[in-house]
Amino acid sequence: MPVRHLISSKVSLAPMAGITDYVLRSLIREHSQTCLLTTEMISSEALTQVKDTDIIKRDNNHSPISYQLSGHKPKMMADCAQYLQKYADMIDINMGCPVNKVVKGTDGAALMRNVELAEEIVKNIKSQISIPLSVKFRLGYTFDELNYVEYGQRMQVAGADFITIHGRTRSQMYGGKADWKKIAELKRNVDIPVFANGDIVSIETAEQCLEESQADGVAIGRGVLGDPTLIARIETYLRTGEILPPPTLEEKISGMKDYLMREVEFRGENVGIKFVRKFYPYYINGFAGASRYRGQLVLLDRIQDINKMLDEIALQSTKNMLI
Ligand SMILES: Cc1cc2nc3c(=O)[nH]c(=O)nc-3n(C[C@H](O)[C@H](O)[C@H](O)COP(=O)(O)O)c2cc1C
């Protein structure tokens, strides 16, 4: 399928390791039937060792979906991309991950300092797959190395069909603010579609980012935490101008219960409960006593107890709001 069909909605889910798993992707898809989903990054080294891994699980309705690969060995990555084609509608290459253990191995954002290797990876993968290939990178490694325009052009020539760009440098990690205006310069200088990414957390920020970046669409990461409806609400706004409200506290709490139940089904009770703990701050917030409740929730390790406490939180928080 041509890349334009895969990004027809103008909004995509950005890949997040340990977050955009099978469960979250399924949830997002229930709200948006059209957005491009992306998996967490899949290490090509790990996939070479173990092919049958939960990280690649998908349902039929997950299309359009992109599978993101990380690594730095062109042949190994190409072999992995070829294998993933039976699941994926698009392959994405991680050229933006800033964390030390990734860049030390010349994966992720380190590729922005090694453009020849990045080109070789793109060419090798491209020659092995018949689906679109995309790249995701940042503005550069540091502010002294802002090579995103030339980098994007070279990825395009090497064979990339689509770009997602996070408007920060590697050295910024996740600090400061994403610079959407710079993305406009990349957009002017490549022919392939560009999605802008970084700090889009609402309909308003999506609109502002599209205006400043002139990008073809936006990719959303952390904004979906606690609100799996965000992508669908932005899509609705872009399509019709209608502003749908974010979930109420009650809806968030029942969303948390649903999410917990799905993760427990996917990972088993023990692991599922531990896995969702990092998401409590995104669901249980915005009312008096929220942090005390979160402190109690993380101590619970039985699903009945957690659900009981979530029910109590829903009741108490509504009471507090009425006072
Ligand atoms: C916990 C976490 C994990 C991430 N994992 C990945 C990843 O696996 N691959 C990738 O390309 N980017 C990854 N990112 C970066 C996001 O895709 C995105 O570029 C970044 O968070 C900025 O967008 P946002 O402000 O919408 O979150 C990750 C970000 C976070 C917060």
Q: Residue 160 C-alpha to ligand 1 middle, in angstroms? A: 20
Model-level pTM greater than 0.85? yes
Of all residues in the chain, the percent with pLDDT exceeding 90 is 94
3-state SS of the chain is CCHHHHCCCCEEECCCCCCCCHHHHHHHHHHCCCCEEEEEEEEHHHHHHCCCCHHHCCCHHHCCEEEEEECCCHHHHHHHHHHHCCCCCEEEEEECCCCHHHHHCCCHHHHHHCHHHHHHHHHHHHHHCCCCEEEEEEEECCHHHCCHHHHHHHHHHHCCCEEEEEEEECCCCCCCCCCHHHHHHHHHHCCCCEEEECCCCCHHHHHHHHHHHCCCEEEECHHHCCCCCHHHHHHHHHHHCCCCCCCCHHHHHHHHHHHHHHHHHHHCHHHHHHHHHHHHHHHCCCCCCHHHHHHHHCCCCCHHHHHHHHHHHHHHHHHHHHC
* CATH number attached to the domain at 249-322: 1.10.1200.80
| Domain spanning 3-240, CATH class | alpha beta
pLDDT for 231-283, tens place per residue?
999 999 999 999 999 999 999 999 999 999 999 999 999 999 999 999 999 99
Q: Which ligand 1 atom sits nearest the alpha carbon of residue 222?
A: 27
pLDDT for 13-55, tens place per residue?
999 999 999 999 999 999 999 999 999 999 999 999 999 899 9
Q: Residue 200 C-alpha to ligand 1 middle, in angstroms? A: 12
Considering only CA atoms, which residue is closest to atom 22 of ligand 1? 198
Q: Start-end ranges of CATH 1.10.1200.80 in the chain?
A: 249-322
Q: Is residue 99 very low, low, confident or very high in pLDDT (cuts 50, 70, 90)?
A: very high
Q: Is residue 322 very low, low, confident or very high in pLDDT (cuts 50, 70, 90)?
A: low
What average pLDDT score do residues 129-142 get?
Answer: 98
pLDDT for 294-321, tens place per residue?
999 999 999 999 999 999 999 987 776 6
